[in-house]
Amino acid sequence: MRIDVFTLFTDLVDGFCSHSLLGRARESGLVDVRCHDPREHAHDVHRTVDDSPFGGGAGMLMRPEPLVECIESVEPRRPLLMLSPGGRRFDQAMAGELASLDGFSLLCGRYEGIDHRIREHMVDGEVSVGDVVLAGGEVAACLIIEAVTRLVPGVMGNAEGPVTESFGESGLLEEPQYTRPAEFRGWEVPEVLRSGDHARIARWRRAQALHRTVTMRPDLIDARGGLSDHERRLLEEFPPVPYP
């Protein structure tokens, strides 16, 4: 998978993408992340990439010429998505869509944003990482790259992870999980997980995933059409583990 990122802070994105799973995926050639700096395409001595908005208003905007030249210099992998608070909300489903492509590109804004002609003529879509305003698109780009690339076959050691975890095929949040030691400061791992009874463990896990989703994200339960009778019985069979 090839990902081109257009950013005034190439070191920031490149550095983030050099660690952990993603860093190893880049080293092994599974993922090719390339960062491109529009400032390299500015023509004045000060390498200016911003200017004040027509009609007045607060802050500066990214000028179109360095961005267009930068984008055209590399034949970015499509779709070219612009990071923007007003874009389509990024979620696990969109991560899956992007992971099925052989590549895509991200355009990071700075200042008060980007000249609208770039949206009109250069990009294929806009994507937001939530109803919040960041100072720039770089953190959003890193979030998207991490979420997408871990779904690329071979990037994660455990191929089942993306299927069983939160927002996976079940449409539920993941159940609480525990590791050794079985008891720590008097805090015990639920007895059922140590029982060796795999059928009961599977029912407990499902019940806890349901409890957690009903409590934390009832909208996800509604989205899958509510609870089945079988699921209601599971909730009765296993009470929820404590939450803060």
Ligand X SMILES: C[S@@+](CC[C@H](N)C(=O)[O-])C[C@H]1O[C@@H](n2cnc3c(N)ncnc32)[C@H](O)[C@@H]1O
As a whole number of angstroms, the distance between CA 159 and CA 155 comes to: 9
162 binds ligand X (CB under 6 A): no
Q: Which CB, 25 or 129, lies closer to ligand X?
A: 129
For residue 86, state whether it binds ligand X (rule: CB under 6 A).
yes
Residue of 94, 101, 134, 235 interacting with ligand X (CB under 6 A): 134
Inter-residue contact 11 to 4 (CB < 8 Å): no
Residue 230: count of CB within 10 angstroms of its CB: 9
Tell me how far, at minimum, the Cβ of 172 lies from ligand X, in Å: 26
**Distance from C-alpha of 240 to C-alpha of 77, rounded to nearest angstrom:** 46
Query: Which one of residues 67, 95, 129, 172 is an interface residue with ligand X (CB under 6 A)?
Result: 129
User: Nearest residue by C-beta to ligand X?
Assistant: 109
Q: Which is nearer to ligand X, 110 or 150 (CB)?
A: 110
Site track 56-85 with ligand X (rule: CB under 6 A), x = hit: ---------------------------xxx
CB of 191 to ligand X, least distance (A): 44
CB 63 within 8 A of CB 116: no
Among 26, 36, 41, 110, binds ligand X (CB under 6 A): 110
Task: Take residue 146 and report the two structure tokens written for it.
Answer: 């991490």
Nearer of residues 31 and 108 to ligand X, judged by Cβ: 108
- What distance lies between CA 12 and its chain's CA centroid? 17
**Radius of gyration (C-alpha) of the chain in whole angstroms:** 23
Determine if 112 is a binding residue for ligand X (CB under 6 A): yes
| Count of residues in contact with ligand X, rule CB under 6 A | 20
CA 216 to chain centre: 20
Bond from prior residue into 190 cis (ω within 30 degrees of 0): no
Tell me how far, at minimum, the Cβ of 12 lies from ligand X, in Å.
Answer: 13
Determine the interface stretch with ligand X among 14-22, 92-100, 106-114, 157-165 (rule: CB under 6 A): 106-114
Judge contact between 16 and 106, C-beta under 8 A: no
Task: State how far the alpha carbon of 119 is from the alpha carbons of 29, 41, 67, 111, 242, in Å.
Answer: 31, 19, 11, 16, 48
- How far is it, in rounded angstroms, from Cα 120 to Cα 98? 22
| Options 113, 115, 142, 205; binder of ligand X; rule CB under 6 A | 113
Residues making contact with ligand X (CB under 6 A): 83-86, 108-110, 112-114, 128-130, 132-137, 140
